[in-house]
Amino acid sequence: MYYLIENTLKECSAEEILNGKSQYVAVLSPEEWAQGKDRFEMGIDIEFDEFDLYTTKAEVNYDSVTGAFSLPDRKNISGEYKEFAFALDEKGIVFIDSGDSAISIITKIINTKKWRMPSLERFIYDFLEQIIHQDLSVLETYEKELDKIDSDIEDDREADLDRVNDIRSDLRDIRTHYSQLIDLSQELEENENNFFKPDNIRFFKLFTNRVSRLYDIVNSLLDYTIQIRDTYESRIEVKQNRIMTLLTVVTTIFMPLTLIAGWYGMNFKYMPELNWEIGYPLVFIVSVLIVILSLVFFKIKKWL
């Protein structure tokens, strides 16, 4: 697919993009790129499988800027990434994609964007912006989930700690993705080959600032996941301490009773209390007094 950058993207033929009248956008399959890369005169002799598609980045060459996009699926961050390469110079940008990831983003731009001052820089900005335009909503969804889990912990309800681990893993992946996008945008902002108009460099600065804010939000959410785990562990410790306190109280109460039972369970012949008529009631009353006095003592000390 070939497009001219006018007030919107205008679909055209391969011959039209090479006449130099307008900057262009091209989306090619790896096979099309192998056959026609020389016509773009970028001085690139790189096959599709030679692009590093496992990370989002840009590299400055003598006559071009090349790189790749590795985009996580916002609906399944831990799933497969959408990967495609690109090459650009002052005349236009070429996406090399074995799937439909690049063309789907471009289609959204065609449906939603019109430019008063069209340029390659503005197109690249809108392309990058389409990558992250739903991310704030995604991060807000994660925050609401974490708030719900935190509330469950505070109210002693069953909390899904496995979900916290999943969210933390997703946030780490997103943070890495944002870091790569910032590096790519800053590389374009450097404009080492003077492909971009100085006045239009602001688009890349604007995108860098947007991603940096998202990066900060992700870091805050990661801190929140740590706080939730700490809260959960502290709640568990409180429950364990309560159990240990109860066991200690029960043990303390029954120790003297156990001593009395053991003492009079020896049944020595000359134990005078065995022959007392009030022996059994006396031991019973003493045992009850020990329990009552122990409970009063623990209540005063606020151990119960």
Inform me whether the pLDDT recorded for 47 exceeds 80.
no
- Cα(291)–Cα(54) distance, integer angstroms: 71
Closest by CA position to 197, among listed 255, 118, 132, 265: 118
pLDDT band at residue 9 using 50, 70 and 90 as cut-offs? confident
Q: What is the pLDDT of residue 50?
A: 56
Distance set, CA 254 to CA 40, 120, 166, 295 (Å):
91, 84, 47, 11
Inform me whether the pLDDT recorded for 238 exceeds 80.
no
Phi, psi angles (nearest 5°) of residue 25: -130, 130
Q: Is the dihedral of CA 304, 285, 283, 286 positive or negative?
A: positive
Closest by CA position to 132, among listed 23, 220, 209: 209
pTM above 0.95? no
Phi, psi angles (nearest 5°) of residue 133: -65, -20
Q: Which amino acid is at 200?
A: N
Q: What is the dihedral of CA 284, 287, 288, 290, to 10 degrees?
A: 160
Q: Which two tokens stand for residue 59?
A: 């590299």
CB atoms closer than 10 angstroms to residue 137: 9
* Domain 240-300 CATH class label: mainly alpha
Inform me whether the pLDDT recorded for 179 exceeds 90.
yes
- The DSSP annotation for 108-131 comes to HHHHH---SS--HHHHHHHHHHHH
Inform me whether the pLDDT recorded for 48 exceeds 60.
no
Model pLDDT for residues 96-136, shown as the tens digit of each residue: 888 888 999 999 999 888 888 889 999 999 999 999 988 99
Rounded CA Rg of the chain? 36
Distance set, CA 58 to CA 129, 149, 186 (Å):
16, 39, 9
Q: What percent of the chain has pLDDT over 90?
A: 24
Q: What is the pLDDT of residue 192?
A: 85
Q: Which strand (E) or helix (H) includes residue 59? A: strand 57-60
Model pLDDT for residues 218-234, shown as the tens digit of each residue: 999 999 998 888 887 77
Enter the DSSP assignment of 41: T
Q: What is the dihedral of CA 47, 51, 54, 58, to 10 degrees?
A: -150
- Tell me how far the alpha carbon of residue 70 is from its chain's centroid: 16
Closest by CA position to 123, among listed 91, 98, 96: 91
Region 201-216 average pLDDT: 93
Domain boundaries, the chain: 2-236, 240-300
Inform me whether the pLDDT recorded for 258 exceeds 70.
yes
If DSSP codes are grouped into helix, strand and coil, which group holds residue 8? coil
- Cα(81)–Cα(89) distance, integer angstroms: 26
228 and 150 in contact (C-beta within 8 Å)? yes
